[in-house]
Chains A and B, each alone.
Chain A
């Protein structure tokens, strides 16, 4: 998609601001990547929007500029954002609508499963444990699971059990 001009923004101001979740144990750069992804899915960010400027993030959150740059490189690799030298980093592409519908459908199925689990007396922690175990088995079984790039998913090649 061609980059749109932001129409309703002050010069150089991003519609979103990053935050840090210290309890997560997720690398900081990946937290930023996830926050952009989330903001796109919820419509807080659109194509053409500027991401927070590196110096603004470093000042407000006291993070190393490398961390922000790393997050923006990751977003560029994923084809979501592009840097304009001397200006900043901008959203180039929002997730497509078909993806949204599919996600909604999948969530509905999961909700049905959750209701069944609750019916069977499984509590929230139990549900999470089941989901995590199933996901691990799926990955171990060499299932072509789409894996997130980055450290969240340690490399395990040819993991057929």
Chain B
């Protein structure tokens, strides 16, 4: 079973393709990070998966269902930067509405969560701070007991402590309920401990899609003489190279260092930055072994 699956997916806004020929598969049980420069198509992809936007070309499924279908709406929760809340309602009334609108609704989870955040039930949603609204939107999203959660940078408005706390809570849901998560983020340092699957989008296309473990195992940072860099590129796939007078630092897709090069394991941060710097380099899902 795949959490998300797209086949030739494309989305055009007037003359511009925000997403082009997108082939992507993320198995269930993963926390998948969606990374890419601004305008790469992250939000468009998440909006299609959430059933908010319709594709111009190709198909997409979430947990095997068509986005926006009744089954998909039951099984998938989505929160984006705009925080889809009824701002004129009081918190209490918002929760009552959410309970009425959803077949599955975990009242205990919602009440416990909000009381631990010291949110007043009688307060108006519009009077809450940006961080509190994000917390409320996430609480509503998770009280629906989804099997897949789509997050488009909803944590951006949280202070560092709240962000850490929310991520911890999310990871607990992953551990206890087997929740699958797809989230977009610019905070690369966070990815290594949170994500098990990495998707890099670039110019509307999938550049990298693979498990974090397989990516870390199949790449090395190599240090060697500057003059040998071109020769190295003939031996192993070189993603990026930073040349200095005598020494060159290379990010290469290999699990063994050629003679003369000193290997070092790569971090997630180096890996992501390397691929972002070189949009033509690809790690396609077809090459990966299923988890």
**Residues of A that sit less than 8 Å from B by CB:** 20, 22, 25, 27-28, 54-55, 58-67, 136, 151-152, 154-157
Q: Within the complex, which residue of B189, B196, B217, B257 is in contact with A64, where a contact is CB–CB below 8 Å?
A: B196
Q: Within the complex, which residue of B174, B216, B264 is in contact with A65, where a contact is CB–CB below 8 Å?
A: B174
Interface of chain A, helix or strand or loop or mixed? loop
In the complex, what's the smallest C-beta–C-beta distance from A88 to chain B, in angstroms? 13
Q: Within the complex, which residue of A22, A64, A151 is in contact with B195, where a contact is CB–CB below 8 Å?
A: A64
Contacts of B96 in A (CB 8 A): none
9 CB < 8 A contacts A-B? A28-B192, A58-B171, A58-B172, A61-B193, A62-B171, A62-B190, A64-B171, A151-B265, A156-B256
Which of B16-24, B41-49, B82-90, B162-170 is found at the contact surface with chain A? B162-170
- Contact assessment for B256 and A64 in the assembled complex, using a CB-CB cutoff below 8 Å: no
In the complex, what's the smallest C-beta–C-beta distance from B244 to chain A, in angstroms? 18
B194 is an interface residue with CB less than 8 A from chain A: yes
- Contact assessment for B175 and A65 in the assembled complex, using a CB-CB cutoff below 8 Å: yes
Q: How large is the interface on B (under 10, 10 to 19, 20 to 34, 35 or more residues)?
A: 20 to 34
A54 to B217, CA, bound (A): 24
- Contact assessment for B172 and A59 in the assembled complex, using a CB-CB cutoff below 8 Å: yes
Other contacts beyond A62-B190, A64-B193, A154-B255: 4, CB < 8 A: A55-B172, A59-B172, A65-B174, A155-B255
- Contact assessment for A151 and B255 in the assembled complex, using a CB-CB cutoff below 8 Å: no
- Contact assessment for B263 and A156 in the assembled complex, using a CB-CB cutoff below 8 Å: yes
A22 to B194, CA, bound (A): 13
Interface residues in B222-271 (C-beta closer than 8 Å to A): 255-257, 262-265, 267
- Contact assessment for B31 and A151 in the assembled complex, using a CB-CB cutoff below 8 Å: no
- Contact assessment for B193 and A156 in the assembled complex, using a CB-CB cutoff below 8 Å: no
- Contact assessment for A154 and B164 in the assembled complex, using a CB-CB cutoff below 8 Å: no
A64 to B31, CA, bound (A): 8
B220 is an interface residue with CB less than 8 A from chain A: yes
A136 to B263, CA, bound (A): 11
- Contact assessment for B189 and A22 in the assembled complex, using a CB-CB cutoff below 8 Å: yes
